[in-house]
Amino acid sequence: MPVEVVGNEFAQVAVSVDTDANSPRLRIEDLRSGRVRFLDALELETLVHLPEGKLQSLLDPSADRWREDRE
């Protein structure tokens, strides 16, 4: 499973394709926190079709990333 690191001054993640589930899915690991998220094809396609405004609201770091009361 090749792993690529994608980063900039704000974030750094390791990205790979996971084939252990029923179908291939993207595995994304936040290298700072170790938190991992898997995205299947439907979730990835949904991201592609999100209007720019909705994507920008998802990228707001104050919405969830640094909140202590999240899951």
Averaged pLDDT in 10-residue chunks for the chain of 71 residues: 91 96 96 95 95 84 67 56
Q: For residues 14 and 31, is the Cβ–Cβ distance under 8 A? A: yes
Which residues contact residue 8 at a Cβ distance below 8 angstroms, ignoring those fewer than 6 apart? none
The DSSP secondary structure of 42-57, one letter per residue, reads HHHHHHHHS-HHHHHH
Closest CA to 26 of 17, 34, 35: 17
Q: Report pLDDT for 56.
A: 84
Using the 8-state DSSP alphabet, how is residue 35 labeled? -
Q: Report pLDDT for 68.
A: 66
